């Protein structure tokens, strides 16, 4: 087993707590499913949100999915002029037998434009 990092992002339609929880849950679920990861494979998860998101912590979605014994942290993205608005990003560290090249990074909806080189 190796420690690998997997990335993902989603752009929210609006800054509302329930909408954020739904979208972040969908993103986390997609990351786990596309890579064949179980919750027990997670080591830690870092969430970032653009400065225009204030309604909730993205990590709340993980807790509601039952991810309760994994360290989670939320941070704010840099406020860069022209950056895509209302984006939540994830950087998860996992234990896996997958090679780096076998990791599926997940960018949902409009967020796929952020990393066309690795978006699945």
Report mean pLDDT in 10-residue bins for the chain, 120 residues: 96 98 98 98 98 98 96 97 97 97 94 73
CA end-to-end distance (rounded Å), the chain: 23
Q: What's residue 114's pLDDT? A: 84
Q: How far apart are CA 67 and CA 89, in angstroms?
A: 17
Q: What's residue 45's pLDDT? A: 98
Distant-in-sequence, close-in-space partners of 94: CB < 8 Å, separation ≥ 6: 3, 4, 5, 6, 35, 37, 41, 42, 43
Q: Could you write out the three-class secondary structure of the chain?
A: CEEEEEEEEEECCCCCHHHHHHHHHHHHHHHHHHHCCCHHHEEEEEEEECCCCCCCCCHHHHHHCCCCCCCEEEEECCCCCCCCCCEEEEEEEEEECCCHHHCCEEEEHHHHHHHCCCEC
Q: Say if CB 20 and CB 48 are below 8 A apart.
A: no
Residues forming the active site: 7, 63, 74, 77, 89, 107, 115
């Amino acid at each position: 087993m190796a420690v690998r990092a997997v990335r993902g992002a989603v752009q929210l339609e609006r800054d509302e707590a329930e909408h954020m929880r739904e979208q972040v849950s969908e993103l986390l679920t997609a990351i786990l499913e596309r890579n064949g990861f179980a919750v027990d494979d997670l080591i830690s998860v870092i969430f970032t949100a653009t400065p225009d998101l204030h309604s909730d912590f993205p990590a709340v979605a993980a807790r509601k999915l039952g991810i309760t014994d994994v360290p989670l942290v939320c941070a704010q993205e840099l406020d860069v002029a022209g950056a895509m608005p209302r984006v939540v990003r994830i950087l998860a560290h996992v234990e896996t037998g997958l090679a780096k090249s076998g990791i599926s990074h997940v960018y949902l909806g409009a967020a796929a434009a952020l990393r066309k080189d690795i978006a699945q």
